[in-house]
Amino acid sequence: MLRTTVGCVGVEERDEEQEDEGEEDLRDGGVPFFVNRGGLPVDEETWEQMWRHVARIHPNGEAIGKRIRGASDLPKIPTLSVPTYQPTTSIPQRLEAIQKYIRDLQYNHTGTQFFEIKKSRPLTALMDIAKEMIRESLPIKCLEAVILGIYLSNSMPGVERFPLSFKTQFSGNHFCHIVLGMHSGGRFGALGISRREDLMFKPLEFRTLADLVQEFEGAYRGYWHTLRKVKIGQYVSHDPHSVEQIDWKHSIIDVDKLTKEELRRELERHTRDMRLKIGKAAPPSPTKDRKSSMGSPLRNPGSPMRRNSRIERRPSGEKKVLDPKPPPDMNGYQIRV
């Protein structure tokens, strides 16, 4: 049974404000936890704050902190190697390898999140944090696992990723959790980390998003939790240098206010929205070959930049007479730097 000492009852409005500002709900199993905002290595103030918090939340109180901090023979923790694949490795096998890597980092029970994740940051900044997580090999929480899962699956263009978060209620307290939803080959699954084995990884075997959500709901029921709300984001770009922000909550569904059929319809609608976004994605910058075939909008006969063009530097007798054409439409063109 999940035990709590401090819940979030009566602070629902503050929770929503936090999430609107891009901050993860700062509670771990109903107990407030700290976020290391000073980077690594951890500064002295944050370090001592972490151990004081451990003494408050651990059943053995200060004794556990003194025993660990006073030990001189603690084993050195190895730096984990990121998964590598053969070209023939299937998508399900690759996702299982990523999940194993995330699980091997272990769940962070200290009550202090080591990496600060601001949801409002652009994707490229979050990918830099993922690299730092790999470099440090420290235990992580659920939001950190989502960022790490995005980074490790960027090289799989056939796999679409999206944030999937849950809000549950147990014994009058609310709890928040997030995983990385996956969609590939017409099947849904998830990557993530949790203290509970059945609240993180889900293989690519669910036919619909509703089936995946119902799987998590069933797992929550096993811990006497009632699923209250589901938040689903849009597909995340595979470009690690993208300056786009992750859409964390494109759809917010109040589960307890819907029948099972209504919930299924809402999730099917969101699935269609995600597919439409792929169809409307902005085209990549044209390659060199495409640029030569497409022509450049700067080569407009009315543009002053044509004064230095090669054709106008030719002797007048070699000029090729061109049929007058209307200037191209510049409205839909963007120059990428």
Q: Which of 153, 184, 194, 237 is catalytic?
A: 194
Check if 177 is active-site.
Answer: yes
Sign of the dihedral defined by the CA atoms of residues 184, 187, 153, 264, in that order: positive
Strands (E) in the chain, as ranges, are 27-28, 31-32, 34-35, 112-113, 160-170, 173-184, 187-191, 202-206, 226-232, 251-254
SS3 188: strand
Taking alpha carbons only, the member of 203, 201, 181, 190 closest to residue 271 is 181
Q: Which of 8, 142, 153, 165 is catalytic?
A: 142
Q: Which of 177, 183, 225, 270 is catalytic?
A: 177
Check if 296 is active-site.
Answer: no
Residues 209, 235 contacting (CB under 8 angstroms): no
Question: In a 10 Å sphere around its CB, with 0-12 CB exposed, 13-18 middle and 19+ buried, how is residue 108 labelled?
Answer: buried
Cross-strand pairs, 122:
245
Position of tokens 């495409």? 290
Question: In a 10 Å sphere around its CB, with 0-12 CB exposed, 13-18 middle and 19+ buried, how is residue 95 labelled?
Answer: buried
β-strand pairing of 187-191 with 202-206? antiparallel
| Encoded amino acid at 218, one letter | G
- Secondary structure, 3-state, 87-104: CCCCHHHHHHHHHHHHHH
β-strand pairing of 34-35 with 112-113? parallel
* Catalytic (active-site) positions: 142, 177, 194
